[in-house]
A = this chain, B = another copy of it.
Amino acid sequence: MLTKINKDKFKHVLKLNDEKTIIKIKDITIGDENPVIIAGPCAIESQQSILDIAYAVKNNNGHILRGGAFKPRTSPYDFQGLKEEGLKMLKIAGEKYNLLTITEVISISDIDLICQYVDILQIGTRNMHNFDLLREVGKRDKPVLLKRGMSATIEEWLFAAEYIMNSGNKNVILCERGIRTFETATRNTLDISAIPAIKQVSHLPIIVDPSHGSGVREYVPSLTLASIAGGADGVMLEIHKNPDEAISDSMQTINFDTFSKVCDNINLISNALKNNSFNRG
């Protein structure tokens, strides 16, 4: 059980009483009773494409537009992202539809550039143990969404957050995105128990990424609702106008129609549990 973790090794991420970190960016709050909806493409592909997606996010009362501009790819020969050009497209789409924006940082040398374009910095699963990068984003004033390493224990994940916070940045959002197991029906096994485990020991908000968490678009709606009912502070979803044509992560990307139904159901669950649940604040 997580309560066995060595509390003396932490200074920032553990909670002492029942306090919660609520992160406020413009008019959006993360970590209070309303779940936050983050959605967008795996990779930013074109200005029109990201505008279409931003419209879908706004139209379903989503809050934050995601989109990758610097892509960490297993093979050096795969598409590595549109880089600054992509960041510009993301910023334009976010401003047009009054959405916050988030993108992944994979290199220290890109941080300053990225900070000019987005509201939230994302640390991806492959960099959760890149302590150098953690320290650097810890020195900035942008909130950081920290994905769990694909084979990191929950305790190691909390230590990664500790690296960021110890550098000065207290606005960390944890993001469960599935772990590596023997099961091959899914790309990763979403560790839904990370939600109550994190809530038990930390004051930080935790959101869930059911797209990477399963790798199968047909499973995303079920996992999204499970995450909200299980107490997550929000979800991050890969959406696209034509998922089959998405450059990256096509198999786990849902279309606008499915996204719309998912959002409706998130609200139904969130409202049903608002005054009664012992899971959420």
A interface residues, Cβ below 8 angstroms from B: 1-2, 9, 11, 72-78, 106-109, 126-127, 129-132, 150-151, 153-156, 159, 162-163, 166, 179-186, 189-193, 195-197, 199-200, 213-216, 218-219, 221-223, 225-231, 251, 261, 264-265, 268-269, 271-273, 276-279
Closest residue on chain B to residue A155 by CB atoms: B185
Q: Which residues of B contact A11 (CB under 8 A)?
A: 77
Question: In the complex this chain forms, how many copies of it are found?
Answer: 4
Q: How far is A276 from B272 in the complex, measured between Cα atoms in Å? A: 13
Q: How far is A183 from B194 in the complex, measured between Cα atoms in Å? A: 10
Q: How far is A196 from B262 in the complex, measured between Cα atoms in Å? A: 14
A-B contact list, 27 entries, CB within 8 Å = A74-B156, A74-B159, A77-B166, A108-B108, A126-B130, A127-B129, A150-B151, A151-B151, A151-B180, A153-B185, A179-B182, A181-B191, A189-B191, A193-B219, A196-B216, A196-B219, A199-B222, A222-B279, A225-B229, A225-B231, A225-B277, A225-B279, A265-B273, A268-B273, A269-B272, A271-B272, A272-B272
| A163 and B76 form a contact (CB under 8 A) | yes
Q: Which of B127, B186, B264, B278 makes the CB contact (< 8 A) with A193?
A: B186
Most buried by B among A72, A129, A186: A129
Measured between C-beta atoms, what is the minimum distance from A249 to chain B in Å?
14
Q: Which of B162, B180, B279 makes the CB contact (< 8 A) with A221?
A: B279
Q: Which residues of B contact A261 (CB under 8 A)?
A: 278
| A1 and B185 form a contact (CB under 8 A) | yes
Q: Which of B130, B179, B190 makes the CB contact (< 8 A) with A192?
A: B190
Known: A190-B193, A268-B276. 19 other contacts (CB 8 A): A1-B218, A74-B156, A126-B129, A127-B129, A154-B183, A179-B181, A181-B181, A182-B182, A186-B193, A192-B222, A196-B214, A196-B221, A222-B231, A225-B231, A261-B278, A265-B273, A265-B277, A269-B269, A269-B272
